[in-house]
Amino acid sequence: MVSFIERLGSALNLNLHRPMRVPDGGWRFAQGKPHYQRAPAPSEADIERLLVRLIGRITRCWVGAGVWVMEGEASSLDVDSADEEGLAGWAGAAVRDRIAVGPLAGPRTMRLRGPTLAGSLSSTPGALSASHEGFSLNGALAWGARERDTLERRCRYRASGPLSNERWSIDGDGLLVPELERPLRDATPQCLFEALDCLARLAAPIPRPHSPLIRYHGVFAPHARHRAGVLGRPRARAPSADEAPKAALARAAMTWRQRRRRVDDGAYTTLASASARAALGRSRGGR
């Protein structure tokens, strides 16, 4: 199983998503050789039971970490970090969808609502989907083992960055307006951010050091005992006679003099190009 940890929601809020690529079966090892066994497709009841189990485990983990407060039968996530500065305060504001910095700090993020969109948005979960206590689980996406292009496209989509320069615009008041992929549940097609608050929103989802956002589980884990038997070992292409000297030089460590010469050569090339452009501009100006 491969999981992609996404920390940024569509409205630039700190909202944890974990899309997973799960095989539709498992491996049975006999005499050191893997044999794949396909599992039956899940039902709606299986998705419901899995979601309830995940909620219980995640809640116990949060209670142990001290971020989930239990008060009798009521429970809530402790993100009241308005008085904190730095990433902790920005993350708390991003979770609650509030303005973190600037003269307007405290209220909720500015939104543009579309009353005509309220009737077109459906709140009922689709097939093989479940939603409970703020958690949701969707298992409707599936593709065959030989659909490698679909698998690559899905993995590239999840591994890519959450933002795109083409989706941003600036309104007449100088506010940043990200284009949402789809309207939010409250019929909000657009959100408005000041420049400073937008930088705080973009900084809040940054994970801690040594926390990879793509993780491998089961037999796909880096130190799994049967990983090589399932995935096989990549075959390195032997370099040709012409490529062998270049490959050896690429693997060899560069000396300090070689590194300095490479930097100087690049600087000289840049200066020469700039000088040539300046001379060409003067010649054109003289004409």
- Alpha carbon of 151 to those of 158, 207, 213: distances in Å? 11, 26, 18
Residue 99, Cα to own-chain centre: how many angstroms? Answer: 22
**For the residues 9-33, what does the mean pLDDT come to?**
83
258 belongs to a structural domain: no
Phi/psi at 271 (nearest 5 deg)?
-65, -40
Instruction: Check whether 56 has a pLDDT greater than 80.
Output: yes
**For the residues 179-192, what does the mean pLDDT come to?**
76
Interval 239-274: pLDDT, tens: 666 666 666 666 666 676 776 676 666 544 544 454
Pairwise CA distance, residues 14 & 205, whole Å: 6
164 belongs to a structural domain: yes
CA-based torsion, 125, 130, 131, 137: positive or negative:
negative
Pairwise CA distance, residues 163 & 176, whole Å: 13
Range of the domain at 36: 2-231
248 belongs to a structural domain: no
220 belongs to a structural domain: yes
Output the pLDDT for position 91. Answer: 81
pTM: 0.67
211 belongs to a structural domain: yes
Which neighbouring-strand residues pair with 135? 132
Pairwise CA distance, residues 206 & 213, whole Å: 10
Can you list the positions of beta strands (E) in the chain? 2-4, 6-8, 14-17, 20-21, 25-30, 33-38, 68-71, 74-77, 110-112, 129-132, 135-138, 168-170, 176-178, 190-192, 214-216
**For the residues 72-100, what does the mean pLDDT come to?**
71
Interval 213-227: pLDDT, tens: 888 988 888 888 888
Query: Average model confidence (pLDDT) for the chain?
Result: 76
Pairwise CA distance, residues 216 & 20, whole Å: 10
282 belongs to a structural domain: no
CA-based torsion, 54, 60, 63, 64: positive or negative:
negative
279 belongs to a structural domain: no
7 belongs to a structural domain: yes
Per the structure, the count of domains in the chain is 1
Pairwise CA distance, residues 247 & 112, whole Å: 57
User: pLDDT class for 275, splitting at 50, 70, 90?
Assistant: very low
